[in-house]
């Protein structure tokens, strides 16, 4: 079977919207509901976060969603079951699981890769896994299970390292828009745009999506000018936190972002 992520990028290279949310937030069973609604609303990729007690790369919004999810009893084991359920409910878009290494390590990295793929996930993002560790221990495992692997790059990542990351990536690269933790921002500064231009000009093997600070149609379409699309996280979590009517709110959110 073809991987849904590589499939998507082979048919579409502009305006891809990936939406991130934390598994088990705001309620334990929200994981499945939200995936269905995002699929129906026209999101291109669903990125589900694995909650962790110490999310050092995240700003307050995602930190809080992690805490609530853990208080709800969320775990890696339950997430695998929820991904199965999402696929059972006929959600067709690519699913990526993203999380800090420790919970995955305790589940067992090999077991996690196999179980995630079997449940219907298409890719993983483990931001604190070192490149050499992936290359030496897990690359073949990911390949054998037909899972994409995405690494992050940031404005301070050297060109040499970007190329190395590109060579180890399957699917797409996650370009962090600024030297910052996660969080919604309204606009991009000039140096951010220059950084996107630089990436765009590097003729990388893989497409890249821009994440961190994407919150509205302005930032989404600006990011899309230089990349295959963008990832929205904190702005979506904020919506989930306050929403009284998920069906309508998610539909409007995706529509408004894509413009």
Partner 1 sequence: MNYKVNDRGYYGNFGGAYIPEMLYPNVEELRNNYLKIISEEGFKKEFYDLLKNYVGRPSPLYFAGRLSQKHSTKIYLKREDLCHTGSHKINNTIGQILVAKRLGKQKIIAETGAGQHGVATATVCALIGMECTVYMGKVDMERQKPNVERMRILGAKVVPALSGNMTLKDATNEAMRHWINNPTDTHYIIGSVVGPHPYPDMVARFQSVISEEIKKQLEEQEGNPYPDYVFACVGGGSNAAGAFFNFLDDEHVNLVAVEAAGKGINSGESAATTALGKPGVLHGSKTLLIQTEDGQVIEPYSISAGLDYPGIGPIHSHLFEVGRAKFVSATDDEAMDAGIGLSKLEGIIPAVESAHAIAALDQFQFDKDDIVVVNLSGRGDKDLETYIRWGKY
Active site residues per annotation: 47, 58
Could you give the CA distance from residue 172 to residue 50 in angstroms, rounded to a whole number? 20
| Contact region with partner 1 (CB under 8 A), list: 14-22, 55-63, 191-199, 222-230 | 55-63
Q: Where are the beta strands (DSSP E) in 120-185?
A: 123-125, 148-149, 152-153, 173-176
For 74, list phi and psi in degrees, rounded to 5.
Answer: -65, 145
Could you give the CA distance from residue 5 to residue 44 in angstroms, rounded to a whole number? 9
- In contact, 142 and 176? CB cutoff 8 Å: no
Residue 101 contacts partner 1 per CB under 8 A? yes
For 16, list phi and psi in degrees, rounded to 5.
Answer: -75, 130
- In contact, 231 and 150? CB cutoff 8 Å: no
In the bound state with partner 1, the residue whose beta carbon lies nearer, of 157 and 243, is: 157
Residue 72 contacts partner 1 per CB under 8 A? no
Residue 52 contacts partner 1 per CB under 8 A? yes
Burial environment of residue 141 by CB neighbours within 10 A (0 to 12, 13 to 18, 19 or more): middle
In the bound state with partner 1, the residue whose beta carbon lies nearer, of 55 and 123, is: 55
For residue 42, give both structure tokens.
Answer: 């026209």
Q: Identify the residue among 27, 145, 146, 157 touching partner 1 (CB under 8 A).
A: 157
In the bound state with partner 1, the residue whose beta carbon lies nearer, of 5 and 176, is: 176
Number of other residues whose CB lies within 10 A of the CB of residue 8: 22
Which 8-state DSSP code applies to residue 51? P
Closest contact distance (angstroms) between CB of 90 and partner 1 is 29
Instruction: Spell out, one character per residue from 167 to 196, where the chain touches partner 1: x when CB under 8 A holds, - when not.
Output: ---------x--xxx---------------
Residue in this structure with the two tokens 């196999």, named with its chain if needed: 114
Residue 53 contacts partner 1 per CB under 8 A? yes
- In contact, 223 and 195? CB cutoff 8 Å: no
Closest contact distance (angstroms) between CB of 21 and partner 1 is 19
Q: Identify the residue among 56, 144, 189, 202 touching partner 1 (CB under 8 A).
A: 56
In terms of DSSP bridges, do strands 45-50 and 152-153 run parallel, antiparallel, or are they unpaired? Answer: unpaired
| Contact region with partner 1 (CB under 8 A), list: 2-10, 141-149, 156-164, 213-221 | 156-164
Instruction: Spell out, one character per residue from 105 to 144, where the chain touches partner 1: x when CB under 8 A holds, - when not.
Output: xxx-------------------xxxx-xx-----------
In the bound state with partner 1, the residue whose beta carbon lies nearer, of 181 and 243, is: 181
Residue 77 contacts partner 1 per CB under 8 A? yes
Interacting residues toward partner 1 by CB under 8 A: 52-60, 63, 67, 70, 75-77, 100-107, 127-130, 132-133, 151-154, 156-158, 161, 176, 179-181
């Amino acid at each position: 079977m073809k991987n849904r992520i590589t499939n998507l990028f082979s048919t579409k290279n502009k305006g891809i919207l990936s939406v991130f949310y934390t598994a088990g937030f705001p309620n334990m069973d929200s994981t499945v509901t939200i995936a269905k609604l995002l699929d129906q609303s026209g999101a291109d990729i669903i990125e589900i976060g694995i909650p962790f007690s110490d999310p050092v790369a995240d700003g307050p919004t995602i930190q809080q969603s992690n805490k609530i999810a853990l208080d709800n009893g969320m775990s890696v084991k339950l997430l695998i079951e929820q991904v199965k359920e999402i696929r059972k409910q006929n959600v067709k878009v690519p699913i990526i699981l993203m999380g800090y290494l420790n919970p995955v390590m305790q589940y067992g990295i090999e077991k996690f890769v196999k179980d995630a793929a079997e449940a219907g996930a298409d890719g993983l993002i483990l931001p604190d896994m070192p490149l050499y560790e992936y290359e030496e221990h897990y690359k073949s495992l990911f390949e054998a299970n037909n899972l994409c692997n995405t690494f992050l790059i940031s404005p301070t990542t050297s060109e040499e390292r970007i190329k190395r990351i590109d060579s180890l990536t399957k699917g797409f690269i996650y370009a962090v828009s600024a030297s910052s933790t996660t969080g919604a921002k309204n606009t991009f500064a000039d140096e951010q745009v220059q950084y996107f231009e630089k990436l765009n000009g590097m003729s990388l093997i893989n497409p890249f999506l821009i994440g961190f600070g994407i919150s509205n149609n302005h930032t989404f379409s600006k990011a899309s000018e230089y990349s295959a699309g963008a990832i929205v996280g904190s702005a979506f979590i904020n919506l989930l936190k306050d929403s009284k009517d998920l069906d309508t709110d998610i539909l409007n959110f995706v529509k408004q972002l894509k413009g």
